Amino acid sequence: MNNNQRSHRLNHAIFILVTILYWCSLYVYVPILSPYLEHLGASYTMMGVVLGSYGLMQIILRLPLGIASDRLKRRKPYVVLGMLTVTLSCLCFAMGEQLGWALAGRIMAGISASTWVAFTVMYASLYRKEEATRAMGMISLLTAAGQLIGMSVSGLLVETGGWAATFWAGTIIGLVGFALAFALKEPKGEMHRAPMRYEDLFAVMKDRLLLKVSTLSILAHGVLFITMFGFTPSYALSMGADQFDLTLLVLAFMIPHALTAYYSGRLLAPRFGAWPVVMTGFVVSAICSAGTTLVPGFGLLVATQAINGCVQGLHLPLLLALSIEHIPDEKRATAMGFYQAVYAIGMFAGPFLAGGLNEWGGLKSGFYLAGALGLTAAVLTRVWFMAKSKRSAVRHVREESM
């Protein structure tokens, strides 16, 4: 093994570690966020504002940061920025038990999440062009691993060291990742894809299929950020769960979510068709989300969240693939940037609207909203994609019989 190979492997290993630390720090306090805001005395409306600010920042910044990174043709500064802002996010929460700090922390988290596109492009550059699919599969696995580690220890940290322990742990994790990010080396050579460009933005915005898939993704992320990434932990505590139980709840959701996300495109979609799998995910997710309000105990709540995590893992990765598969190669990066910025609307609007509903009708109201969003997405999937394919099949049979 020569020096270049050693350097490449070391750079690859550092990037893997930085990525895991990034997602771990970003998600370490997510399971306890809504209970923490309740602890601070926040109204449900204010909780919706804080939770939704994460998505709002991504709506504003994701596409501009992606385009700026492509124009600069450098990823490392944005990776460093992502690690810095995720560290500041946790630090804001750790500064004191005040709603202002909580809002600032969540805004910082949204800014950090907006830099993620630079991570993905930099990681893809570590592979050969023909290995792009392998690279994206690997970085998806690293994302899930970091999220799972962070969310799994969240409740335990609160149980052993109080609220601040979780935020300080996230700060330390972020600082380690921030320091390691400076050791990364910018990969040499051009990108393996066309860059994002403002000139292509208006063209992709007119693409009807992309707009339809983006609408479904808004609804899907609205459900996700109302439930497990929103108010489900608070609902669990209202049923008598403790912080350790939150860890169990997170594992019950995230493990099936990661498994089905991995297999949906590899096994289920080729066998049953992508759109039937997507619609099944929406229907069952709607039932589980609305049905959360009917379960009599924590054990059944865990069961519903395991099913919910499983079915939400069905449609999210498929929508990502379906959004750009028909887009010309030279416009795919811009289309993906647009898609990611648009689905952040669900991250913002979902918890924001649910917070307002919860303020008016109690904590259960938000779960009814999540169920309604899932059902709406299922109906739209049926009307836009499945009914159309059936009509085409009938027309084809008639033409052959004539």
Contact 347, 373 (CB under 8 A): no
For position 73, what pLDDT does the model report? Answer: 78
Of 92, 393, 367, the residue nearest 224 (C-alpha): 367
pLDDT at position 336: 78
Question: Is the domain of 179 the same as that of 234?
Answer: no
Least confident span in 104-108, 279-283, 308-312, 392-396: 392-396
Element (H, E) at 144: helix 132-161
Of 228, 124, 14, 306, give the one whose Cα is nearest residue 220: 228
Asked if residue 256 and residue 180 are part of one domain, the reply reads: no
Nearest to 139 by CA among 123, 127, 128: 123
Q: Are residues 261 and 364 both part of a single domain?
A: yes
pTM to 2 decimal places: 0.86
Q: Which of 4-18, 36-50, 149-163, 329-343 comes out lowest in average pLDDT? A: 329-343
Compute how many other C-beta atoms are within 10 angstroms of the C-beta atom of residue 293.
15
Instruction: Tell me: do 167 and 260 sit in the same domain.
Output: no
Asked if 322 and 390 sit in the same domain, the reply is yes
Residue showing tokens 């020096």:
3
Alpha-carbon distance 25 to 84, whole Å? 11
- The domain of 70 spans 1-193
pLDDT at residue number 120: 81
Q: Which of 193, 214, 238 is the last residue of a domain?
A: 193
Last residue of one domain, picked from the residues 176, 193, 210 = 193
The larger pLDDT score, comparing residue 326 to residue 30, is at 30
Q: What's the Rg (C-alpha) of the chain?
A: 21
Predicted confidence (pLDDT) at residue 130 exceeds the cutoff of 80: no
Residue 248 and residue 299 share a domain: yes
Run of H or E residues at 286: helix 274-291
DSSP 8-state symbol, 362: -
Number of domains in the chain: 2
Tokens for 22, please give them: 């990034």
The pLDDT > 90 percentage for the chain reads 53
Can you tell me the distance from the alpha carbon of 378 to that of 73, in angstroms, rounded to the nearest whole number?
40
- What is the distance between the alpha carbons of residues 163 and 29, in angstroms, rounded to a whole number? 9
Q: Domain end: 193, 220, 250, which one?
A: 193
252 and 231 fall within a common domain: yes
For residue 186, the tally of other CB atoms under 10 A from its CB is 13
Q: What's the CA gap between 115 and 78, in Å, rounded?
A: 6
- In this structure, which amino acid lies at residue 202? F
Place of tokens 């335990």: 156
Confidence of residue 189 (pLDDT cuts 50, 70, 90): low
Residue 27 contacts residue 179 (beta carbons within 8 Å): no
148: exposed, middle or buried (Cβ count in 10 Å: 0-12, 13-18, 19+): buried
Q: Do 22 and 157 reside in the same domain of the chain? A: yes
Q: Does 185 share its domain with 326?
A: no
pLDDT, one tens digit per residue, over 204-248 is 888 899 999 999 999 999 999 999 888 999 999 889 888 888 889
Both 19 and 118 in one domain: the answer is: yes
What are the b/e assignments for 349-386, b being 16+ CB within 10 Å? bbbbbbbbbbbeeebbbbbbbbbbbbbbbbebbbebbe
Query: Is the CB of residue 327 less than 8 Å from the CB of residue 200?
Result: no
For 336-386, write each residue's pLDDT tens digit: 788 888 999 999 999 999 999 999 998 899 999 999 999 999 999 999 988
Evaluate the CA torsion angle 364, 370, 373, 379 in order and state its sign: negative
Q: 75 and 181 in contact (C-beta within 8 Å)?
A: no
253-275: average pLDDT: 86
Q: Which two tokens stand for residue 35?
A: 């209970």
Q: Which of 183-192, 350-359, 386-395 has the highest mean pLDDT?
A: 350-359
Torsion sign, CA atoms 192, 193, 194, 198: negative
DSSP assigned state of 189: S
Q: What's the rounded Cα separation, in Å, for the pair 144 and 152? A: 12
At residue 140 the predicted structure's pLDDT band, cuts being 50, 70 and 90, is confident
Residues 244 and 329 in one domain: yes
Find the CATH number of the domain harbouring 38: 1.20.1250.20
Start-to-end C-alpha separation, the chain = 68
| 127, 222: one domain | no
- Angle at which helices 76-94 and 44-72 cross, to 10°: 160
